[in-house]
Amino acid sequence: MRDYSEELKNRAKFIQDKLKESGAAGIIFGNSGGKDSALVGILCKNACDNVLGVIMPCESKRNFGEDMEDGLEVARQFNIDNITVDLTETKKAICQEIENAAQITASASKNIAPRLRMTTLYTIGQSKNYLVAGTGNKSEAYMGYFTKWGDGAYDLNPIADLTVTEVYEFLEYLNAPKNIRTKAPSAGLFEGQTDESEMGVTYNEIDEYIATGKGTPESVARIERAHRISEHKRRMPDVYK
């Protein structure tokens, strides 16, 4: 297990260094009410005073219920400024316009909300001269379980090297709200959605594979395929040279 006391200091310094390098006045992050956003918010608040969490519900009942409550609890416990921007009508409006020209597939539709959230964070961040903090972990990145140009877009990410197992350990060390540490991880993209059911593999299996290269034949096959087909998400676009 990592020394999370030392990790807290080192990651706070990383954030402080990026603020100094950029001349930014603070940090903004999407406060989803999940494990990763909670850890990012806490780390950023340990690094500087000017931290803004943005709760961005979009259609899903979970966005307006459990996740919003957990996001607000993190903000209260760690004294993080927080605002809410409801993107439900925005998504409806953009879908209506797009559907006048082309049919939106189910997979394309579920990626709209993360991209609207990215736009929201960057608009507020640029207006306030704040850097956008990413909230993706190592396990999700390996699987490609994030939206390209959505939650995969950010100025800095203080947890990108941590597996989901380590994220939970860190949150335990920080005494983050219990529900965040115990509820099933979910991006809240649609009703009843959970990360593990959508990927078809558990985070424990993913983390074991990352650490050892081992697992059941079924889990290894799923993980390796997900990693292979999502490689385009982890690199910059190809350009003509």
Instruction: Indicate whether 223 belongs to any domain.
Output: no
Residue 215 counted as domain residue: no
Instruction: Give the pLDDT score at 60.
Output: 83
Q: Residue 1 has what pLDDT? A: 84
Residues in the chain: 241
Average pLDDT rounded to a whole number, residues 209-222: 97
Looking up residue 50, the CATH number of its domain turns out to be 3.40.50.620
pLDDT at 189: 63
Q: Describe the strand order of the beta sheet including 51-55 as a list of residue ranges.
A: 81-84, 51-55, 26-30, 130-132
* Average pLDDT rounded to a whole number, residues 89-93: 97
pTM score of the predicted model: 0.94
Q: Is 90 exceeded by the pLDDT of residue 65?
A: no
With residues binned 3-state (H G I as helix, E B as strand, rest as coil), the percentages for the chain, rounded to 5, are: 55, 10, 35
The number of beta carbons lying within 10 Å of the beta carbon of residue 76 is 11
pLDDT mean over 127-151: 97
Which pLDDT does position 191 carry in this prediction? 63
**Which is nearest to 233 in space by CA: 119, 171, 147?**
147
What's the average model confidence in pLDDT over 12-20?
98
For 9, the domain range is 4-199
Residue 188 has pLDDT above 80, yes or no: no
Say if 217 falls within a structural domain: no
Q: Average the pLDDT over 175-197 and give the result.
A: 81
Out of 124-138, 177-191, 214-228, pick the least confident. Answer: 177-191
Number of domains comprising the chain: 1
Nearest to 53 by CA among 25, 77, 72: 72
Looking at the domain assignment, is residue 206 inside a domain?
A: no
Cα dist from 134 to 1, 32, 93, 160, whole Å: 24, 12, 26, 8
In 3D space, the residue among 30, 28, 27, 48 whose CA is nearest the CA of residue 38 turns out to be 30
In angstroms, the CA 237 to CA 36 distance is: 26
- Spell 120-148 as b/e; 16+ CB within 10 A means b: bbbebbeeeebbbbbbbbbbbbbbbbbbb
Residue 86 lies in a domain: yes
